[in-house]
Amino acid sequence: MDDRNAAALSAGMPLYAAWLVAMAATLGALFIGEVLGQMPCVLCWYQRIAMFPLALILGIACLQGDSAVRTYALPLSITGGAIALWHSGLYFGLVPQRVAPCVKDGPSCTDAAMTIAGLPIPILSLVAFAAITLALALMKGSRT
């Protein structure tokens, strides 16, 4: 592998990492909802709205070698991360329950069932969005 190919590969590694995290989070959310039958709360739905397109957008960017993906992927990952941070605050009682957006008919944003394998789902989401944001921020210039 020559120096140019090695540089292109190293520039794309953060992009591939971001895509793998987005795919894992998307598949995890689908598994929790469709296989385990756990209904998502309102804040989980908003986080899904940010995460699901990231899996597709970042996957296409990987195929195209498009580092310009940062322009439209960073706003999604930062927004999703902000919602996950708020959700985590609700879950751990740092944000008062009276400002929780969940309705009486749906699952609670702070329910004890908001865990998977003993880990709080809001924290898993926050870690995923933070990892994607960091990977996108670490991307180098466009690849050719």
Domains of the chain: 3-138 (1.20.1550.10)
Looking at residue 83, its pLDDT comes to 95
Task: Kindly tell me if the per-residue pLDDT of 9 is higher than 60.
Answer: no
Average pLDDT over residues 19-34: 94
Confidence at residue 97, expressed as pLDDT on a 0 to 100 scale: 67
Q: What is the mean pLDDT of residues 43-68?
A: 93
Rounded Cα distance, 97 and 80, in Å:
20
Q: Which of 80, 67, 68, 72 is nearest to 21 (CA)?
A: 80
The pLDDT, as a whole number, for residue 69 is 93
pLDDT for res 79:
97
pLDDT at 107: 65
pTM here is 0.84
**Reported confidence tier of residue 142, pLDDT bands at 50, 70, 90:** very low
Dihedral (Cα; 108, 92, 88, 106), 10-degree rounding: 0
Q: If you average pLDDT over every residue of the chain, what do you get?
A: 84
99 backbone dihedrals φ, ψ, rounded to 5°: -100, 10
